Amino acid sequence: MNRRRCAAAAITVVCALAVLASPDVTHQAYAAPVPPPVSSSPPAVPPPPVELPPGVRPPAASGERSLEDIRLEIDGLYQKAAAATDAYNLAEEQAAKQSAEVVSLAEEIVRGQLRIDELKERAGAAARAQYRGGGLPPEAQLILTDDPQLFLDGAGRIQEGQKATQALIAELSRAQEDLRTYTADAGTQWQKLEANRTTREKAKREITQQIAAAEKLEASLAKDELAQLARLESDAALRAQSAWLGSGVLDDINRRSSERGRKAIQFATGQIGKPYVWGAEGPSSYDCSGLTSQAWAAAGRGIPRTSQEQWRLLPHIDIRDMRPGDLIIYHQDASHVGMYIGDGKIVHAPRPGRNVTLAGAGSMRILGVVRPDK
């Protein structure tokens, strides 16, 4: 009996354990959560922002352009505008000459036509005189006369009349040929005039596009960035000028300007502070070659209107022979010009948005030097 009770108790304990281990029970047992491992290092704290001096742009992020890149792009846009300005000014100058030539030829055509009309009138008068003489030519009338003296007088007049008629015919032919030449020349000049007008309009569009692109780029910058951009421009010019002076180029440049050169310098420096306007040649604004051409005109020496034509047509001077009043031509395409005034400086009209000012002669890439009064 006791054995049976013990066996029953053991079976009861085994069944209870089986029930507690089953997943289908209503009240499940859960293990206590395990705490996370404790790190021995302190939590990461973000570094404080770096304080930059006022007006200093932070370093460009990957893929972002720096202010130096922007400066170079703006310089490139303004150089393209300067080259287009030269093309515009040259087309304008040529168009003015061709327009004057067309007017002159038109006047010649009118005079030629009047001359032809006059000659035709004289020929008609001779024909009417012959008609009044009975319709017979002078030779026939002469044969019919019985008076020897009248015959001799008439023979002389016939010879004179023949010479006059031949001269009249020759003059009429020349007048007609001149008229044809004038007409052909006028047509050629008109075609050139129209071609230059097309060139001028194309250059004008190029100028406005390049300047607008540069101004848009500048307008996208904040005030402090614009100030930094100006410092970058100034620093770049100073580095170029210092390198130029460091080459010893001024060691042999101690020549005095000519009398006309002094007058040209006086005029050019008198325009300092006036704004750059492309295509302008005074008196209230100038572009670069407008300033130099007007300065030398004031000194009594006419020179080409554009920097490219000044480089092409004026006598070239070695830079070590340069003297005040000479013109320094800049950039590979000769798209800029300034007037050397001595002590390593030039006076020039820089670009849109700037005024006529003094600058280091070596602050831009020099192509060469020309002398208007050589």
pLDDT of 115 reads 74
| Packed helices 148-219 and 67-132: angle between N→C axes, nearest 10 degrees | 160
> For residues 306 and 289, is the Cβ–Cβ distance under 8 A?
yes
pLDDT of 140 reads 52
Q: Look at the alpha carbons of 48, 52, 54, 60 in this order and tell me if their dihedral is positive or negative.
A: negative
Give the model's confidence band at 21: pLDDT under 50 very low, under 70 low, under 90 confident, else very high.
Answer: very low
> For residues 221 and 336, is the Cβ–Cβ distance under 8 A?
no
More confident residue, 352 or 156: 352
Which of 22-26, 219-223, 295-299 is most confident? 295-299
> For residues 80 and 212, is the Cβ–Cβ distance under 8 A?
no
Which of 86-90, 116-120, 200-204, 310-314 is most confident? 310-314
Mean pLDDT value of segment 83-98: 81
d(CA 11, CA 3) in angstroms, rounded, equals 13
> For residues 83 and 306, is the Cβ–Cβ distance under 8 A?
no
Task: Give me the residue label for tokens 């009248």.
Answer: 150
| Residue 44: φ, ψ to 5° | -70, 135
Task: Give me the residue label for tokens 């930094």.
Answer: 228
Widest distance between CA atoms in the chain: 204
Mean pLDDT value of segment 175-202: 77
- Over residues 313-338, the pLDDT tens digits come to 999 999 989 999 999 999 999 999 99
pLDDT of 13 reads 38
List, by residue range, all CATH 3.90.1720.10 domains of the chain. Answer: 255-370
pLDDT of 64 reads 67
pLDDT of 127 reads 64
Mean pLDDT value of segment 209-223: 87
- Is 331 designated active site? no
| Residue 222: φ, ψ to 5° | -75, 170
pTM over cut 0.85: no
Q: Look at the alpha carbons of 333, 334, 336, 340 in this order and tell me if their dihedral is positive or negative.
A: positive
Nearest Cα residue to 57 out of 70, 44, 74, 47: 70
Given 6, 15, 316, 348, the catalytic residue:
348
d(CA 202, CA 84) in angstroms, rounded, equals 9
Q: Please give the CATH superfamily to which domain 255-370 belongs.
A: endopeptidase domain like (from Nostoc punctiforme) (3.90.1720.10)
pLDDT of 331 reads 93
- Strands (DSSP E) found in the chain: 316-317, 327-330, 336-342, 345-348, 357-360, 366-370
* % of the chain beyond a pLDDT of 70: 71
pLDDT(18) > 50:
no
Mean pLDDT value of segment 187-203: 79
Give the model's confidence band at 143: pLDDT under 50 very low, under 70 low, under 90 confident, else very high.
Answer: low
List, by residue range, all CATH 1.10.287.2610 domains of the chain. Answer: 67-219
pLDDT(152) > 80:
no
* Chain Cα centroid distance, residue 190: 25
d(CA 82, CA 89) in angstroms, rounded, equals 10
pLDDT(278) > 60:
yes
More confident residue, 348 or 159: 348
Nearest Cα residue to 182 out of 237, 115, 125: 115
Bridge pairing between strands 345-348 and 336-342: antiparallel
- Over residues 29-81, the pLDDT tens digits come to 333 444 444 444 444 444 444 444 444 445 444 456 788 888 888 888 888 88
CATH of domain 67-219: 1.10.287.2610
d(CA 39, CA 46) in angstroms, rounded, equals 18
Mean pLDDT value of segment 110-132: 70
pLDDT of 81 reads 85
Which CA distances in Å does 130 have to 118, 121, 202?
19, 14, 63
d(CA 105, CA 182) in angstroms, rounded, equals 6
pLDDT of 97 reads 79
**How many other β-carbons are positioned within 10 Å of the β-carbon of residue 79?**
20
Given 6, 288, 316, 331, the catalytic residue:
288
Given 6, 27, 316, 336, the catalytic residue:
336
pLDDT of 80 reads 85
Q: Residue 33 corresponds to which tokens in the numbers above?
A: 């959560």
pLDDT of 74 reads 85
Q: Reduced to 3 states, what is the DSSP secondary structure of residue 268?
A: helix
Average pLDDT over all residues of the chain:
76
